[in-house]
């Protein structure tokens, strides 16, 4: 297997890791205002992701940096085409990140409510926008022979891209609901179970529709991939387990569903990295946009040395903060 193919797989793994790990952060951020009946319960919901949300975002940075280093032509064309969308994405990331830090800076209901909805809006927009971008890679965008984007902002709003964004958003909401149920107690956990059941039903319908669209329009009616089949099964399991006491299995199933959806995008994309809707011969592929052999070798050595350390650190952090989160005890005066 050639190095550029290996790095395509590695980048796909980074994107899968980002959505699996940051996906429950997005889900919690989007749902905390609706599942929490008061500020204390909302704070508890936010605290469930407190130890991890900023570390999980690093996977997004690593995925983008790896695209830049391994496939500079892909990075240049994609980020040029998605420039305005990326500005919106950055604004959503800023609003979300700042809300974690500033929400508790003032003891004012109006202040906290404003940051609550900033967190909610940012957590919804980020997976939606990234999902649209990933869907556009597979659906195709107007790209000429020089690998330059020739469309405009509205060219990015393809039907399949929007469907992909909605699919990943709904899966993140389900992932967040199962995580809140896994990490909390009492009424907040009960409401997370109820939300998981409803969101899970929606996720089943949306995921099946997206898989059919991918199969018929993108795959030209070929047989479904195993990732599509197992992904749908995982959503069904997550929905069924969402109201049970098996919170860990429900969370694992929702995470697998997200991994299957994101993984399927890259499976369907290869050997392309970006499809041209202008002409198939203008497609960006792993062969015509890859970096030279030497930088790929250096990157591979670094990845082999660093990735085990990162995975061990993240696994240890999940172990350390594995206990459920509850409301602080009420002072007796």
- In which band, very low, low, confident or very high, does the pLDDT at 332 lie, cut at 50, 70 and 90? very low
| Percentage, residues of the chain above pLDDT 70 | 96
Please write the tens of the pLDDT for every residue from 51-97: 888 889 889 999 999 999 999 999 999 999 999 999 999 999 999 99
More confident residue, 217 or 125: 125
Q: Helix 247-269 vs helix 226-241: angle between axes, to the nearest 10 degrees?
A: 160
Q: What is the pLDDT averaged over residues 147-152? A: 92
pLDDT over 50 (residue 331):
no
Q: Which of 71, 77, 57 is nearest to 7 (CA)?
A: 71
CA distances from 168 to 80, 183, 244 (A): 23, 22, 24
Contact 28, 21 (CB under 8 A): no
258/209 Cα distance (integer angstroms): 15
pLDDT over 60 (residue 151):
yes
Q: What is the pLDDT averaged over residues 91-118? A: 90
At residue 305, the pLDDT reads: 92
Contact 273, 138 (CB under 8 A): no
At residue 220, the pLDDT reads: 63
pLDDT over 80 (residue 207):
yes
At residue 333, the pLDDT reads: 40
Q: What is the pLDDT averaged over residues 243-271? A: 93
At residue 54, the pLDDT reads: 85
Please write the tens of the pLDDT for every residue from 67-77: 999 999 999 99
More confident residue, 105 or 123: 123
319/308 Cα distance (integer angstroms): 16
- In which band, very low, low, confident or very high, does the pLDDT at 14 lie, cut at 50, 70 and 90? very high
Q: What is the pLDDT averaged over residues 25-42? A: 93
Query: Class for domain 3-320, per CATH?
Result: mainly alpha
What backbone phi and psi angles, to 5 degrees, belong to 275? -95, 135
At residue 289, the pLDDT reads: 92
Q: What is the pLDDT averaged over residues 254-260? A: 96
**Could you state, in order of their start, the residue ranges of all structural domains in the chain?**
3-320
Residue that is written with structure tokens 């989007």 in the block: 30
Across the chain, what does the average pLDDT equal?
A: 91
Please write the tens of the pLDDT for every residue from 270-327: 999 999 999 999 999 999 999 989 999 999 999 999 999 988 988 898 888 888 887 6
- In which band, very low, low, confident or very high, does the pLDDT at 223 lie, cut at 50, 70 and 90? low
């Amino acid at each position: 297997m050639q190095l550029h193919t290996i790095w395509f797989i590695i980048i796909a793994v980074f994107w899968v890791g980002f959505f699996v790990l940051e996906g429950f952060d997005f889900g919690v951020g989007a749902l905390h205002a609706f599942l929490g009946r008061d500020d204390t319960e909302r704070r508890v919901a936010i605290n469930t992701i407190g130890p991890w949300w900023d570390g999980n975002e690093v996977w997004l940075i690593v995925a983008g940096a790896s695209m830049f280093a391994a496939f500079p032509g892909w990075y240049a064309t994609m980020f040029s085409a998605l420039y305005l969308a990326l500005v919106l994405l950055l604004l959503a990331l800023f609003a979300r990140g700042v809300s974690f830090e500033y929400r508790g800076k003032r003891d004012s209901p109006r202040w906290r409510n404003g940051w609550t909805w900033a967190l909610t809006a940012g957590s919804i927009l980020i997976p939606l926008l990234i999902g649209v971008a990933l869907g556009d890679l597979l659906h195709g965008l107007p790209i000429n022979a020089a690998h330059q984007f020739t469309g405009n902002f509205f060219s990015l709003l393809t039907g399949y891209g929007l469907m992909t964004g909605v699919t990943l958003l709904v899966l993140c909401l389900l992932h967040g609901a199962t995580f809140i149920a896994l990490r909390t107690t009492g009424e907040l956990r009960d409401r997370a179970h109820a939300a998981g059941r409803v969101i899970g039903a929606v996720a089943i319908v949306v995921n099946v529709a997206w898989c059919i669209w991918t199969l018929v329009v993108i795959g030209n009616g070929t047989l479904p991939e195993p990732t599509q089949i197992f992904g749908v099964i995982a959503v069904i399991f997550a929905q069924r387990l969402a109201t049970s006491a098996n919170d860990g299995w429900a969370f694992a199933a929702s995470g697998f569903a997200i991994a299957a959806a994101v993984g399927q995008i890259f499976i369907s994309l290869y050997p392309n990295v970006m499809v041209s809707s202008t002409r198939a011969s203008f497609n960006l592929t792993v062969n015509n946009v890859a970096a030279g052999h030497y930088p790929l070798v250096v990157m591979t050595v670094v990845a082999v040395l660093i990735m085990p350390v990162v995975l061990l650190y993240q696994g240890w952090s999940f172990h350390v903060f594995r206990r459920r989160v509850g409301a602080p005890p009420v002072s007796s005066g």
